[in-house]
Structure 1
Amino acid sequence: MANSYGTGPAPFPATSPPPGNYPPPPGDRGRLWLLAGIGALVVAIVAILATVVVMRDSGSTPSPTALPASTTKPVTTAPATTTPSSTLTPRIPGYQVVVPKDLKAAWDIPKDWTIDPSTTTYGTDADHLAAAGFSEEGVDYCPNNVRTNMFLSTSDISDATAAATDVGAHAARLGWSTRTSSQAGTPQPLDAGDNTLHGTFLETTGAFTAPTGCATTFSVYTFAVSAGPTNGSLVLVIVADTGVDRSVTPDFARKLFASFRLL
């Protein structure tokens, strides 16, 4: 299946280097925190899915849970090495599978995207999102910019819609320091993993000041899956310059998110 995206500007203005260039924190402590955080969420989601299946089979209905309040705190930095899987078959024919090391989760990306095992955070040392399974496309498509990045992060917010909104806004602040606008769109339900994962899809759009030849608009696509009333959420993120050749569209983002699955 051909890639359904084109070429264009990057989500990082020339005054701000791509997230892959930020050095990881010293030692393995950050890596352990990330793996523990995302790993625990994966386990929690697996347990919830098993419970839902049992309750469905027994004819009972799970009671609704209250939505948590407040904003999320990004999980501490995370050096998690990632490699394409050599054994898993991509859900999207002709694509490659991203499998973060030590995490039982996977998703598909186009063959021409590059997985960067050295990048474990998105942003700066002072302000960042944890990032596992980091990939990039369109490096230097225009001066000093990367067109698209994708990674898995976490949120302390258990409501999927709130988590998708919060992480989208945070990623927009981190990715485009010269932004002139940023606005969250309408949350939409999205199923992934052959309809075993039910979450929220959200597009956050905005504009920014950029060098000649670079995009001047951006989108942050987020797909959040709740791990339960008190366990936070997993959030798959795509940050992308838009309005240029090979830029990621909402439909293409949904296609990639739909390939997300737990192993």
Structure 2
Amino acid sequence: MATVNEVYGFLDKLAPFDLQMDFDNAGFLVGRGETQVKRLLVALDITLPVVQEAAEKGCQLVVSHHPVIFHPVKALTDQSATGRVLLALAEGHMAAICAHTNLDAVMEGVNCCLARTLELKDLEQLHQDGLDHEGRPYGIGRVGTAHRPGMTAGEYAAFVKEKLGAASVRYADGGRPVRHVAVGGGSCGSMLCDAAARGCDTFVTADVKHDQYIQARAMGITLMDAGHFATENVVCAPLAEKLARAFPDIRVELAQQNREPYGAV
């Protein structure tokens, strides 16, 4: 039976943790490394409902994208949301491994999953940060050709919403048909100029700010905000499949309580 440390080792090869950005806190964040794992849950976020689901299913490990500990924890009590989650993990004897910006950047990570879900062709990196220890390129974002070039911004927004199961898609119409598309899972609005430099007419990301919409329209780029959850949750199922193949003795499941945190009308 594999241990938490062995699962961490697999994830470290898939998306090396030393590739994470300086602000990040990805890694093995909760639990005991030698705990044997019979069952694990994969989620985008480790929320209290996700931890409760993991406990009910008898899981020893939760693997997530977003770090369960991001800001420094000065007290571990039930008086804060983070404290309640960490206490529930500890009391349930469960570990947590979180692969964040390292999983964003690697070739088979968040952004490749997002690009493939949107059926982009001829994928390339939007921005290359460097090479990992095995000489593989890594960097945030991907660029590709639209599955059906020539769609209007409105048509493509509807397509993006359907493919991602997004609660909503907000967009600023750049005035050009959709042909060359950049994607950046999560908060990548600051990479608008990178998309422009690659000759993209459309950029799909999340957490877009007011001034970024204005800038995009001025640049003639259609900028779409499909939501943080929807643009990153696409990695969870492929990640679960990779873990299941690597550890056939572990029952790997997607968290059913892993849900979009907001609704839209």
TM-score tier, shorter chain, comes to: under 0.3
TM-score (norm 1): 0.25
| Larger strand proportion of the pair | 1
Q: Which has the larger radius of gyration?
A: 2
Q: Which has the higher contact order (CA 8 A, sep 6+)?
A: 1
